[in-house]
Amino acid sequence: MAEQKRAPETHLLYDVRAAFVTAKPDVSKDLVSETNRLVEQAIRATFRQVSLPRTVLTIRISRATKFPLLVGARYSADISVDATAVGNGEKIAAGTFSVSTFALNHEHADHVLADRICDRIVSEFRLQDSGPSSLATALFP
């Protein structure tokens, strides 16, 4: 019996066209802008081989907290993501998640937390993570 190749399941994938990051006033503006920059970078790096439903993501940082430790602090954020169809404006997917990280200072924490948020969105929507290149990635692709 010959094995049949199965096409990868794409019914839950979307062609993400853009993302908008919003937050309450008490959330750091650096966290919002860095999250937006990283997600947009991943969207621009993603190319789909098949036609998929086109969507726009609305990413809301609903809560960002700091838990001081003896050295540094643990930072966490609660995120909700809505995928809205480009063609008709209907919400076609929604989800929530939390991320956390440890950092020694607050400035560094915003960047690390934004990276964790982006990593989760990249994973869920199967985007391409095009992180900054380094000498190692340039020499060893």
- With a CB cutoff of 8 Å and minimum separation 6, the contacts of 84 are 55, 56, 57, 58, 90, 91, 92
Q: With bands split at pLDDT 50, 70 and 90, how would you rate the model's confidence at 130?
A: low
Per-residue pLDDT reduced to its tens digit, 36-83: 999 999 999 888 888 888 999 999 999 999 898 888 899 999 999 999
The topology (CATH level 3) of 15-127 is: Double Stranded RNA Binding Domain (3.30.160)
pLDDT at 5 over 80: no
Domain ranges of the chain: 15-127
Strands (E), the chain: 15-23, 54-68, 73-85, 91-103
Q: Greatest CA span in the chain, whole angstroms?
A: 64
**Which residues, at least 6 apart from 97, have a Cβ–Cβ distance to it below 8 Å?**
78, 79, 81, 120
Under 8 Å between Cβ of 96 and 117: no
Taking only the tens place, the pLDDT of each residue in 70-128 is 888 999 999 999 999 998 999 998 999 999 999 888 778 899 999 999 999 998 888 87
CA distance 45 to 10: 19
State the Cα–Cα distance between residues 65 and 85, nearest whole angstrom.
32
